[in-house]
Amino acid sequence: MKTFRSALLAVVPAMFVAVFFVYPVATLLARGLGLDAGRLLEVITGSRFLKIIWFTTWQAALSTLLAGLFALPLTWALANRQFAGRRLARVLVTVPFVLPTVVVAGAFIALMDRFNLDEGAVRLRHTVWAILLAHAFFNVAVFARSVGGFWSQLDRRPEEAARTLGASPWRAFVEVTLPRLRPSLIAAVSVVFLFSFTSFAVILLLGGPRRSSIETEIYRYAVTRSDISTAAALSIVQMVAVVSLVVTNGWLQRRAVGRQGLVADRAVPAQTARQRGVLATTLTGTAVVLGLPLAVLVERSLASGGGYSFANYRALGERVRLLPISAADALVNSLAFAVVAAGIALVIGGMASLAIVHGTRSVSRLLDLGMLLPLGTSAVTLGFGVLISLDRGVLDLRGSWWIVPITQSLLAIPFVVRGVVPVLRAIDPGMREVAATLGASPGRVRREIDLRIGARALATGVGFAFAISLGEFGATSFVGRRSDLLTVPLAIQRLLATPGDLLRGQAMALSVILMVVTALVVFLSDRLHPTSGGML
């Protein structure tokens, strides 16, 4: 019974990924390479493709670095300082993550206009900097929330010990804190890297017409040219890159410090005037940088009829021509998808995390890889794969309601797993052993110890899952769905594809509503878990 139950923890997530990810993607790749296997060789040796692969890789690495540096002050503040609005700050930072790229790109372009970054000495538009900055903007949340959450649970005594031994705050951070943060840092880095590695719209819209990444090339070959062989070959290259990343990553993870003293919350209020100053600067700085593009959106959403009003918002209740349903109905669709996708991510991601932490080494590695892979796979590959594989008998999910949240959950599960596993690994094994001696069965130990201590990370992951589902565009548009199942990002895209200030105003209003809804949902999911102490 014991082995059966623990096997189930690994088998259910494995089956989920096998059926809804591995099988569709493998079917598509087999079809593509079956048509022309030589294409793979051409792709990996052609200098044009090598250039694209190289560009994709370095822009993702730089984007990750930039996002990390950019997020550092806020991450530090959220983990180390108690302040009014800390919980709110944790919620608000998720908002950029969910916005449709086309909207963010619009806001960025407007900002560049306003600060004259378009022409003149500093030219951002259609440069790689625009790509890097946009990726950083999107991903601050990943660092701030997941690393910040982990950090806030680390016992501060080791750093204090280092300080008493003469280390400056910076030295103590580099020598003591950073190594202890490593498991969570590596997890966040891998997620952000994959996000930037497979990003599509940012590259196209902000990078300008001269930039191609593996993802945009897959789209170009599969969609514009119906050349599935080349698309499959590129997908394989993409997956090989992702697998090698994940493997290195897992290796680094295992080398990282394992168990840590975990506390409910390490943060203390700022005491001296200097500390208060640092905190205030950090928060204001981040708020300005993240807030400016958002402020532009809000401003645009309110601009109507030559002045400012809520007319754009009021208009969302009625169906506009161009959309099959009203924007309000699209919001209902999006919320329903998000609830289901987050639910799946919670269950599958939670089970997978437990199996990864407690399973044998090979189970743990395979599962870790399997859970992360969808995030690093092209939406085109996955979407087309679903179309040609989940098409018969009980598995005919094409056009079904479920295929949308299932696909979205595949992208959300890594956020749950990557957040939860480092926390579970940091649990003092003595706690589990004591619980066992006190009569807790292995299953009970996982519930009473792992899940309780991992609850905060799990809640953070579920918040991300919601956000991802609410903002997801690519896979949703590829899997094929009933036309009335329009989601908010698709509706925004559609509104922005026809001339007219009215439509643009409504698209902006809808984006703002998406922001507010995301914030609300993340706020609620942050409160769902039982640990009441600390920031959450």
Give 333's contacts (C-beta < 8 A, 6+ positions apart). 325, 485, 486, 487, 488
Q: Is 308 exposed, middle or buried (0-12, 13-18, 19+ CB in 10 A)?
A: exposed
256 or 387, CB closer to other proteins? Answer: 387
Q: Of the ranges 91-99, 176-184, 205-213, 516-524, which one interacts with other proteins (CB under 8 A)? A: 205-213
Residues 356-395 that bind other proteins (CB under 8 A): 383-384, 387-388, 391-392, 394-395
- Under the criterion CB under 8 A, does residue 245 sit at the interface with other proteins? no
Q: What is each CA distance from 132 to 59, 64, 169, 289, 427, in whole angstroms?
A: 7, 8, 29, 14, 36
- Under the criterion CB under 8 A, does residue 12 sit at the interface with other proteins? yes
Total residues at the site for other proteins (CB under 8 A)?
A: 100
Q: Which of 4, 164, 274, 361 binds other proteins (CB under 8 A)?
A: 4
- Under the criterion CB under 8 A, does residue 69 sit at the interface with other proteins? no
Q: Are 505 and 301 in contact (CB under 8 A)?
A: yes
Could you identify the residue written with the tokens 């019974």? 1
Cβ 283 to other proteins, closest distance in Å? Answer: 26
- Under the criterion CB under 8 A, does residue 73 sit at the interface with other proteins? no
HEC string for 178-247? HHHHHHHHHHHHHHHHHHHHCCCHHHHHHHCCCCCCHHHHHHHHHHHCCCHHHHHHHHHHHHHHHHHHHH
Cβ 110 to other proteins, closest distance in Å? Answer: 6
- Computed from CA positions of residues 456, 461, 462, 466, in that sequence, does the dihedral angle turn out positive or negative? positive
- Under the criterion CB under 8 A, does residue 425 sit at the interface with other proteins? no
- Under the criterion CB under 8 A, does residue 444 sit at the interface with other proteins? yes
Q: Of the ranges 79-87, 105-113, 131-139, 158-166, which one interacts with other proteins (CB under 8 A)? A: 105-113
Q: Of the ranges 66-74, 174-182, 218-226, 414-422, which one interacts with other proteins (CB under 8 A)? A: 218-226
Q: Which of 22, 72, 264, 328 binds other proteins (CB under 8 A)?
A: 264
Site string for other proteins, 463-482 (x = CB under 8 A): --------------xx-xxx
Task: Please give the Cα distance from 423 to 469 (Å, whole number).
Answer: 24
- Under the criterion CB under 8 A, does residue 117 sit at the interface with other proteins? no
H helices of 273-397, in order, are 273-302, 311-315, 327-358, 361-372, 379-389
Cα angle 205, 210, 212; round to 5? 75
171 or 259, CB closer to other proteins? Answer: 259
Could you identify the residue written with the tokens 């090698």? 244
Residues 17-56 that bind other proteins (CB under 8 A): 19, 28, 31
Q: Which of 147, 242, 279, 397 binds other proteins (CB under 8 A)?
A: 397
Task: Please give the Cα distance from 487 to 466 (Å, whole number).
Answer: 13
β pairing state of 303-304 and 307-308: antiparallel
40 or 102, CB closer to other proteins? Answer: 102
Q: Of the ranges 12-20, 160-168, 359-367, 460-468, which one interacts with other proteins (CB under 8 A)? A: 12-20
Q: Are 476 and 489 in contact (CB under 8 A)?
A: yes
Q: Of the ranges 84-92, 169-177, 399-407, 413-421, which one interacts with other proteins (CB under 8 A)? A: 399-407
- Under the criterion CB under 8 A, does residue 122 sit at the interface with other proteins? no
Q: Which of 168, 174, 402, 528 binds other proteins (CB under 8 A)?
A: 402
Q: Of the ranges 71-79, 139-147, 217-225, 273-281, which one interacts with other proteins (CB under 8 A)? A: 217-225
Cβ 301 to other proteins, closest distance in Å? Answer: 12
Q: Is 10 exposed, middle or buried (0-12, 13-18, 19+ CB in 10 A)?
A: buried
At 59, which helix (H) or strand (E)? Answer: helix 47-80
Q: Which of 299, 441, 523, 524 binds other proteins (CB under 8 A)?
A: 441
Q: Which of 79, 297, 435, 519 binds other proteins (CB under 8 A)?
A: 435
230 or 282, CB closer to other proteins? Answer: 230
Site string for other proteins, 221-240 (x = CB under 8 A): -xxxxx-x------------
- Computed from CA positions of residues 393, 398, 402, 406, in that sequence, does the dihedral angle turn out positive or negative? positive
Q: What's the longest Cα–Cα distance across the chain?
A: 72
